[in-house]
Structure 1
Amino acid sequence: MTPEPPTTPGAAVQAELRLHIGGRQKKAGWLILDIEPGPHVDFLGDCTDLGQFPDDSIACVYASHVYEHLDYQQALPHALAEVRRVLRPGGQFHVSVPDLQAVAWLLLDPALGPEQRFHLMRVVYGGQTTPHDFHRTGFTAEIMLGFLARAGFRSARRVADHGLFEDTSKLSLFGRPVSLNMIAEA
């Protein structure tokens, strides 16, 4: 399935592509790309290769708790450059990753017990329930801003909530949000 660009000005409004990378929840107006097949998946593929989408063809990309699974030397920079490539000028990239700084603060809380600390460890290293569920990169706001700038995004800002999906972007543990949510502009 390859998205086709609209052929008439009126079609542009209806055919505005919005891509949810790694999504599990179907939502009207959004197409899902995932590395694992499933009935919810519109495009089977890896977030490091968005070659099935033309340059400047997507209005909005959303990804929650995807990019921490990539190595920061090659795969992550390439994946972010791919998002930038497919976003049309002025398009938005909504990204959420585990917030290493928030998790570190929680780990230092003396009130937490061993089971709670184990749960936090899983946020850092992944749930490890599938071959793809291992984390290779940790993010703070500053680290993510650097990666986004190097990928060619013209601006980025932190947001409390994307307001798009009910997923890990809203994850709070022990009363503290542990997701770093940002919106970058192409």
Structure 2
Amino acid sequence: MPGITCVYDCRKHLPFPDGSVRGIFCEHFFEHLDYTEEVPIFLSECARVLQPGGVLRLIVPDVERYLRAYLADGWQALSAIRPLDDQHTDFFLGCRYNTKMEFINTMFRQGHEHKFGYDYETLAFVLRRYGFRQVVRQSFEVSLRPELAIDQAVRASESLYVEAVR
């Protein structure tokens, strides 16, 4: 929420009482968690602190979108997701890609920072597994809780938007 900032290592615990939070917003963070070790803890903690009916909004790189673009001929589909110049240089990262597979590996490894890639099916599965009763695929700036629609426009073309209700 605007005006509220909490800096905390939430891979182990969230510093809020049970059922005390209306909404949680995570943009391009979740893919940095280890799927087997950190995701279960984080999602269990989110479910614990959210009020009944509370919403967790997760925004991650959309693996399915990237892989469909990879399979398309040429570079046009990839450039539509991630801005590249005519030499296949990434406007954000500044690196030049010689092949589409170099591009894909850079997106999903990010110097070993990204731990797991998600499509909607996998994200919905893991959210339900850790206590969320309703999972909804959303889009840029569309949310079950309008105060959680604070997405970065610059990431919209590459993002998967998912909300889970406790």
TM range (shorter): 0.7 to 0.9
Q: Which of structures 1 and 2 has the larger relative contact order (alpha carbons within 8 angstroms, sep 6+)?
A: 2
The letter for the 2-side match of 1:61 is I
User: 2:56, 2:164 within 8 Å by CA — same for their partners in 1?
Assistant: yes
Q: 2:32 aligns with which of 55, 69, 74?
A: 69
1:1-46 CA-partner distances (Å, limit 9, x unpaired) = xxxxxxxxxxxxxxxxx5xxxxxxxx24xx33xxxxxxxxxx2311
1:160 corresponds in structure 2 to: 139
1:168 and 1:119 map into 2 onto residues whose CA distance is 21
**Which residues of structure 2 form unaligned runs of 5+?**
76-87, 89-96, 143-148
1:106-126 superposed Cα distances (whole Å, 9 cap, x missing partner) = 112221154683454332112
Quick check: which one's strand share is greater?
A: 1
TM-score by length of 1: 0.66
> Could you tell me how far apart the structure 1 residues matched to 2:154 and 2:130 are?
22
> Quick one: structure 1 residues 144 and 153, their matched pair in 2 at CA, closer, same or farther if it must change by over 3 Å?
same
Amino acid at match of 2:161: N
Number of residue equivalences? 139
CA distance in structure 2 between the partners assigned to 1:60 and 1:143 by the alignment = 22
Counting helix residues as a fraction of each chain, which structure ranks higher?
2
Please state if 1:52 is matched with 2:32: no
Q: Which amino acid is the alignment partner of residue 139 of structure 2?
A: A
Does residue 181 in structure 1 map to residue 161 in structure 2? Answer: yes
Q: Which residue of 2 aligns with 1:149?
A: 128
Counterpart position of 1:94: 57
**Contact 1:141 / 1:158 at 8 angstroms: preserved in 2?**
yes
Query: What one-letter code is carried by the residue in structure 2 that aligns with 1:182?
Result: V
State TM-score, norm by structure 2. Answer: 0.74
Kindly indicate whether the alpha-carbon contact (under 8 Å) linking 2:32 and 2:113 is maintained by their aligned counterparts in 1. yes
- Provide closer, same or farther for how the CA distance between residues 158 and 51 of structure 1 changes in structure 2, counting only shifts above 3 A: closer
Q: Deviations over 1:66-100 (max 9, x none)?
A: 11111111101111111111101111111111111
Aligned-pair identity (%): 27
Query: Which of 97, 100, 105 is residue 121 of structure 1 equivalent to?
Result: 105
